[in-house]
Amino acid sequence: MLSKNIETALNKQIRIEAESSQTYLSMACWAEAHGLEGIAEFMYTQSDEERAHMLKLVRYVNERGGATTITDLKAPKTSYATFKEMFEELYKHELFVSESINELVHITFSERDYATHNFLQWYVAEQIEEEATAKSILDKISLIGDDKGGLYLFDRDIQQLTVTSSIAINPK
């Protein structure tokens, strides 16, 4: 059985994961509207993955006898000056999510809820991957600079990253 404090913290994380899904969906829409098909596909996949992360938390709360609370979400940003700015915001967002997961893990440890602590280790590992992917993408964008040919190749290549990620990750 979950304590009220842990239930509240898990519900907060459910909201964060839902907002993450919406953020990626908004980024996908922006990229698609700007002819960046590869980036759009990457973002659509990320949006789906974040929703899966949310559902995993929802099911966990329900299985442990807690009450999942679905709340309204903060609207995501819908426009970016450049695709680089969009990926910089994505990276900052992933750092925020990691901080939130770490705080949640700390709460479970403090309350000696080792089952939830263990459950959250998957999220800890997932965030390491999310941050590394975002940082790697930013490094590639820095290499491209203002080269339009480089942007074309990056947009095409990021589709490969999408295929690899969706096969390698099983959020269940």
Residue 34 has what DSSP assignment? T
Share the mean pLDDT of the chain.
91
Residue 113's SS3 state is coil
Instruction: Please determine, for residue 59, whether its predicted confidence score (pLDDT) is greater than 90.
Output: yes
Distance separating alpha carbons of residues 106 and 71, to the nearest angstrom: 24
Paired tokens of 83: 């695709």
- In the prediction, which pLDDT does 164 show? 47
- Which residue type is seen at 45? T
Maximal C-alpha separation, the chain:
56
Distance separating alpha carbons of residues 13 and 5, to the nearest angstrom: 13
Tens digit of each residue's pLDDT (9 = 90 or more) over 65-93: 999 999 999 999 999 999 999 999 999 99
- In the prediction, which pLDDT does 64 show? 97
Tens digit of each residue's pLDDT (9 = 90 or more) over 1-23: 899 999 999 999 999 999 999 99
Which pLDDT band, with edges at 50, 70 and 90, does 149 fall under?
confident
Q: What percent of the chain has pLDDT over 70?
A: 94
- In the prediction, which pLDDT does 154 show? 87
Q: Which fold has domain 4-168?
A: Ferritin (1.20.1260)
Annotated binding-site residue numbers for Fe cation:
17, 50, 53, 94, 127
- In the prediction, which pLDDT does 32 show? 96
Paired tokens of 8: 């509240």
pTM above 0.85, yes or no: yes
- In the prediction, which pLDDT does 100 show? 98
Which pLDDT band, with edges at 50, 70 and 90, does 101 fall under?
very high
Contact 36, 109 (CB under 8 A): no
